[in-house]
Amino acid sequence: MKPISFAFNQISDNIFTGGLEILSLRVIYKIMEVLIADEYGFCFGVERAVEMVEEALAEGDTVRTLGPLIHNDQEMGRLATHGVSTINAPVQIQRGETAVIRAHGVTPQVEAELREKASKVVDATCPFVTKVQKLASRAAAQDRHVVVVGNPDHPEMIGVFGYAPKHSFIVRDVAEVAALPRLKNPLVVSQTTIKLQNFYDVAEAVKAKADGETQVVNTICSATRDRQDAARSLAGEVDAFYIIGGRHSSNSRKLLAVCQEQCEKSFLIETEDEINVEDLRGARKVGLTAGASTPNWLIEKIGKRLEEIGIGLDNEMAVT
């Protein structure tokens, strides 16, 4: 982990004259230090999807995404100011418009509908998700069962299921494996954003249900694992922890759960307005991380707000 970089920039900007001013600002950071996890924010797939949309806009396209491009309302709001709009079904796209398949992917049937109706289709499906789709499709073609560990209501899982609808089962955890029938040479894969231990626990439970060999392929995104490991490493060292991400973002909620294992005062927030100053009284070290759909501009904004709060609390202590 590392002290948040823009905090130090702020310190240098506020040094006017005299050693006393410099000393007081240094004391601020001894009272409340903001530490950012080693891995945080946009993953490769999300950054790629945003760049693909921005490229389409630069070409003058009328861009419409099928569902939110990524699970972050603030970034979607920024894109909306540049003309990006969201549709809920392929029937809403028109000729002359560019349809964007979001990072979570879609079923083959939905993609075919988009290509039939739109003038252009930009496939921004995350490559990690594409890998799961291909594995499921291949196993189904071999007449094998596919067990996908994840949330059946998540758009990524809906899309993956569409690649092997007659062979797939989506389970959240070990408890749901018990309800499955006997499985023929099953393939076990996962939603790209789930917790690693849950995946391995389910995989072991599936083996007991299998007739034939069980193939286990860990398809959890490396960025998800890296962010969770970095957050876990930092959580034991801080008094409060803020995870920046959408409440409907699976990977952000998983980050919150990881942080809560070691830091009781862990909070999932979407904007700086959600920070409660009372939660930071007495805190000497504050951790900060962000989900894979959280843009850097938002992380910087919240980091600066935490700095302001730290300075304010220090001033209160100085007065008392």
Helix or strand or coil: residue 306? helix
Say what percent of the chain tops pLDDT 90: 81
Is residue 53's pLDDT more than 50? Answer: yes
Cα separation, 307 vs 304, whole angstroms: 5
The more confidently predicted of residues 251 and 267 is 267
- Of the chain, the end-to-end C-alpha distance in Å amounts to 32
Q: What is the pLDDT of residue 12?
A: 33
Task: Give 3-state DSSP helix, strand, coil % of the chain, rounded to 5.
Answer: 50, 15, 35
Give the distance between the most distant pair of CA atoms in the chain: 77
Stretch 61-71: mean pLDDT: 94
Taken in order of first residue, the domains within the chain and their CATH numbers are 2-42+223-319 (3.40.1010.20), 45-125 (3.40.50.11270), 128-216 (3.40.1010.20)
CB 224 within 8 A of CB 192: yes
- Among the options 33, 113, 156, 270, which is catalytic? 156
Whether the CA torsion 43, 44, 49, 53 is positive or negative: it is: positive
Can 237 be counted among the known catalytic residues?
no
Say what percent of the chain tops pLDDT 70: 88
- DSSP for 1-24, please give it: -EE-HHHHHHHHHH--SSHHHHHH
pTM confidence score: 0.79
Is residue 266's pLDDT more than 80? Answer: yes
CB 192 within 8 A of CB 229: no
pLDDT band at 104 (very low <50, low <70, confident <90, very high): very high
